[in-house]
């Protein structure tokens, strides 16, 4: 079996084609979140991703509860469609197996501490000689050099260091961590984009290359519009909470039934908003005549809008607004958003056997991706993968006996 294996018909959000990346082979040495998120994106669209785990396994298998058969939701959420192989590449025999896997691979992705692969004699300088077409993507905290080179990276620490935390929250809370691991997941997304760029360029040059992806760089790249504002006005951005620093009204408001969010981006939308809530005079008030004036007088406008929304049914109001061209929506908790009718229509909750997860947001007209197999148990595909790469039963047994191949996690 390989990454093109199609799932049974029963389920939701399943892959219906081989995928846009069918035929691409990825050897995945990453753990935790950024790398696995990247490779799940690739595997959703047909890439054959072989997840090579260390003897102790990907540590996020333990990051629960909740668990399914010993694997935590944190692992389950970013590892579907992959095949798992437990391998000790700190041993020469393990590195020999890895090199066998790389013989026909298109991509190697890893997130070891910079210098680890080089210490083992399998850094990019060596691998590029053996496999000139290989794309080697390394994800690290800060890169190998520079003032912080070689240091480990963690999402919350990078949120703090890149300024992302300083622009979240408000004056009453001070800097706050974003509730989702935005730096890790952003790095996974940027890495997927970089890998696809490298694959495209290889089609012309015939050569692979090295991608130096860091949490630090990717965290910095997410500072919009705060960095753009700072570069233009020289003022230190601060957390504004829900309100937008540039647009008004762009904020959360209470209603009789729920909270809603309004995101009015221009004068036409603001005038339409005022008409739809029965307060057309607000659009004619000189304090609110343009976005710049609304920004200066945001406190007065916020008070007026909050009063207008107080007796409204938020769900009905937000739907009426957005259907009339004013961006608005109810503020939903996760259980309600994942159960929403449009979520089902877009197949954004995927199901296969016991597995449920968030589906792929990348929708193709011809090469539709999706779920092909549930997240793997540790070492589940060891025999399949090694036999596919020419290992005999006797050789596989020897690798297991010598502590190179692992089918159970080392405690």
Give the DSSP H or E segment for 231: helix 226-233
- Of 374, 375, 378, the closest CA to residue 406 belongs to 378
Residue 348 CA to residue 36 CA, distance in Å, equals 19
Q: Where does 54-181 show beta strands of DSSP type E?
A: 67-68, 71-72, 82-87, 107-110, 135-140
Please tell me what DSSP assigns to residue 371: B
Residue 237 CA to residue 225 CA, distance in Å, equals 10
Q: Which two tokens stand for residue 399?
A: 């690798």
Residue 293 CA to residue 342 CA, distance in Å, equals 36
Which one of the listed residues 106, 184, 311, 402 is annotated catalytic? 184
Q: Which two tokens stand for residue 88?
A: 């000790």
In degrees, rounded to 5, the angle at the alpha carbon of residue 186 between the alpha carbons of residues 7 and 44 is 10
Residue 282 CA to residue 301 CA, distance in Å, equals 8
CA 13 to chain CA mean position, Å: 18
Cβ atoms of residues 209 and 201 within 8 Å = yes
Count of Cβ atoms closer than 10 Å to residue 179 Cβ? 7
Is residue 184 among the annotated active site residues?
Answer: yes
Q: Which two tokens stand for residue 57?
A: 């396994």
Q: Where does 159-247 show beta strands of DSSP type E?
A: 210-214
The CA distances from residue 155 to 48, 215, 377, in Å, are 27, 8, 26
Cβ atoms of residues 185 and 243 within 8 Å = no
Q: DSSP 3-state assignment of 122?
A: coil
Q: Where does 201-296 show beta strands of DSSP type E?
A: 210-214, 250-254, 259-263
DSSP characters for 17-37? SS-TTTT-EEEE---SSHHHH
Q: Show which residues are catalytic.
A: 184
């Amino acid at each position: 079996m390989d990454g093109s294996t199609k799932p049974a018909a029963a389920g939701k959000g399943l892959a219906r084609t081989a995928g846009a990346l069918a035929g691409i082979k990825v050897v995945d040495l990453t753990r935790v979140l950024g790398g696995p998120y990247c490779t799940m994106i690739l595997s959703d669209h047909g890439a054959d991703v072989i997840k090579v785990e260390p003897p102790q396994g990907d540590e996020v298998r333990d990051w629960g509860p909740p668990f399914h058969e010993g694997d935590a939701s944190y692992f389950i959420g970013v590892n579907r469609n992959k095949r798992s192989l437990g391998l000790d590449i700190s041993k020469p025999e393990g590195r020999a197996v890895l090199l066998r896997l790389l013989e026909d691979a298109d991509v190697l992705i890893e997130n070891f501490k910079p210098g680890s692969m080089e210490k083992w004699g399998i850094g990019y300088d060596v691998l590029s000689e053996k496999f000139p077409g290989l794309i080697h993507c390394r994800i690290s905290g800060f890169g190998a050099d520079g003032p912080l080179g070689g240091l480990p990276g963690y999402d919350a620490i990078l949120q703090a260091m890149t300024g992302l935390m300083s622009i979240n929250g408000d004056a009453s809370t001070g800097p706050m961590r974003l509730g989702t691991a935005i730096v890790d997941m952003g790095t996974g997304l940027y890495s997927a984009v970089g890998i696809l760029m490298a694959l495209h360029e290889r089609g012309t040059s015939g050569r692979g290359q090295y991608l130096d992806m860091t949490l630090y760089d990717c965290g910095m790249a997410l500072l919009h519009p705060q960095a753009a504002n700072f570069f233009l006005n020289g003022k230190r951005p601060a957390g504004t909470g829900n309100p937008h620093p540039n647009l008004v009204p762009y904020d959360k408001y209470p209603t009789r039934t729920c909270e809603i969010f309004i995101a009015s981006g221009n004068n036409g939308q603001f005038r339409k908003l005022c008409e739809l809530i029965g307060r057309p005079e607000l659009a004619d008030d000189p304090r609110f005549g343009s976005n710049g004036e609304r920004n200066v007088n945001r406190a007065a406008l916020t008070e007026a809008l909050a009063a207008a929304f107080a007796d409204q049914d938020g769900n009905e109001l937000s739907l009426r607004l957005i259907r009339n061209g004013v961006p608005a929506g109810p503020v939903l908790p996760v259980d309600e958003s994942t159960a929403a009718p449009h979520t089902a229509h877009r197949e954004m909750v995927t199901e296969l056997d016991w597995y449920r997860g968030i589906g792929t947001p990348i929708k193709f007209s011809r090469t539709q991706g999706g779920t092909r197999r549930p997240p793997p148990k540790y070492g589940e595909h060891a025999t399949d993968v090694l036999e596919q790469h020419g290992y005999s039963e006797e050789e596989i047994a020897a690798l297991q006996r010598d502590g190179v191949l692992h089918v159970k996690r080392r405690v």
